[in-house]
Amino acid sequence: MNYIIIIIFFLVLLIFSTYIYKKVNNLLLELFPKRRLKLFSFLIASIPIIMSFTRNFSSFLVFLLYIVLLSIPIDILNIYFKKFNNNIWKKLHNLLIIPIILSTILTFYGYYNAHNIQKISYDVISHKEIKQDYKVALISDLHFGTNFDLKSLKKQVDIISNENPDIVVLAGDIIDEQTPVDSYADIFNILSNIKSQYGIYYVLGNHDENRYIEPKDNRNIELNNSILKSNIKILKDSSHIINDDFIISGRIDYSYRQLGQRSSASEIIKNLDRNKFLMILDHQPSQYKENKNVGYDLQLSGHTHAGQIWPFGLITRTIGFDYGLLNEDKFNLIVSSGMGVWGPPVRTEEKSEYVIINIKKEI
């Protein structure tokens, strides 16, 4: 399967590069009509494939993506306008002026949006008797190292602490394969400083344990040691009771199901008191119906990034519920777009966020 994905990826790159070759060749013919510069056009068109082997590829690819996407409708318009033989339009079209300007604006906006963390709030009514209202702070998909360093993380931790949450939850992908191992201890030490009444709870996502690289053993040992020292409570198909009326469960990520490491929701809930408010942390939202059907009241998830980069949000929305608050009967699902970003430090879908959930008594 991985080989198929790699083949598809490079086929798409090849199509992009072919399209760019034609556009660049037209551009150079416009600028230097008497010179043969096909080799130069070929070299420029090869940049996407060459950069796919570098660390800076992702940001460049976003810029490239928007140039191609914006060039397509302009090429369609050109079919109409070229019959008027308008020299101004011809230069605008051949020099890629419109796509380059718009792509630059979109990419810079995406960079700003990725780094401008917003607070998003939701109210959830408990249909079970609880002793108090609970304020839950949700952080997901930090992917530390993409749009955060230690200084900016500490600043964000102070902001969240000022919300005075009762409970803090980390819903997975706090780190990923690109996060430097020697920063693990500092990351979780900073996160452990979020002030809360009942503690910080963490479920691992599909990236935290470095599933997509080898070797991973030393990285995962350092991860476990860092979490242990931070006193953050990690939940792996396990639960924790708070204040005798509220239970937090955490599931092993859905990506581990094929390894037989993920219990069913019915197994996790079977010994829990259904009269208490039951909240489950499940990194991926795709299995929310299973969690709902066994009796959980609230699920908190991340993973989708709400698409992160347009037009990929169209795909994530087609696959399933990918962002916001979903209410079905007395069950609520909240999916965060994430405080960080994955891959390019760019976000043109939704916003980077932390989430405050106010769980209120039923009046």
- For residues 167 and 310, membership in a common domain is answered with yes
Q: Which of 98, 113, 128 is the last residue of a domain?
A: 113
pTM, full prediction: 0.85
Give the pLDDT of residue 16. 67
Supply 236's token pair: 């792996």
Per-residue pLDDT of the chain (363 residues; tens, 9 = 90+): 345 545 665 676 677 667 766 666 666 666 666 555 555 545 555 555 555 545 455 677 788 888 888 888 888 887 777 777 777 777 776 667 788 889 889 999 999 999 999 999 999 999 999 999 999 999 999 999 889 999 999 999 999 999 999 999 999 999 998 899 999 999 999 999 999 999 999 999 999 887 776 666 688 889 999 999 998 999 999 999 999 999 999 999 998 887 778 999 999 999 999 999 999 999 999 999 999 999 999 999 999 999 999 988 888 888 889 999 999 999 999 999 999 999 889 999 999 999 999 999 987
- For residues 301 and 159, membership in a common domain is answered with yes
- For residues 334 and 206, membership in a common domain is answered with yes
How many structural domains comprise the chain? 2
Cα Rg, the chain, nearest whole Å: 24
Domain that holds residue 67: 2-113
Q: What is the separation of C-alpha 344 from the centre of its chain, rounded to a whole number of angstroms?
A: 11
- For residues 254 and 214, membership in a common domain is answered with yes
Residue 41 one-letter amino acid: S
E runs forming strands in 171-308? 200-202, 233-234, 238-242, 246-250, 277-281, 298-301
- For residues 34 and 54, membership in a common domain is answered with yes
- For residues 85 and 124, membership in a common domain is answered with no
Give the pLDDT of residue 122. 98
Characterize the bridge pairing of strands 134-139 and 167-170: parallel
- For residues 121 and 109, membership in a common domain is answered with no
- For residues 108 and 122, membership in a common domain is answered with no
Does residue 122 contact residue 138 with C-beta atoms inside 8 Å?
no
Supply 306's token pair: 């709400």
- φ and ψ at residue 67, rounded to 5 degrees: -60, -45
- For residues 89 and 197, membership in a common domain is answered with no
Residue 132, C-beta contacts closer than 8 angstroms, at least 6 positions apart:
166, 243, 361
- For residues 107 and 132, membership in a common domain is answered with no
- For residues 139 and 254, membership in a common domain is answered with yes
Give the pLDDT of residue 217. 67
List C-alpha distances in Å: 250 to 25, 178, 278, 351: 55, 25, 11, 25
Strand partners, 168: 137, 200
- For residues 107 and 137, membership in a common domain is answered with no
Handedness of CA 217, 343, 160, 292 (dihedral sign): negative
CA distance 245 to 276: 5
CA distance 310 to 348: 6
Q: What angle do CA 255, 256, 257 make, to 5 degrees?
A: 95
Q: Which of 74, 94, 113 is the last residue of a domain?
A: 113
CA distance 108 to 292: 40
CATH code for the domain in which residue 239 is found: 3.60.21.10
Strand partners, 355: 120, 138
DSSP state of 251: P
Q: Which of 75, 90, 113 is the last residue of a domain?
A: 113
Give the pLDDT of residue 51. 52
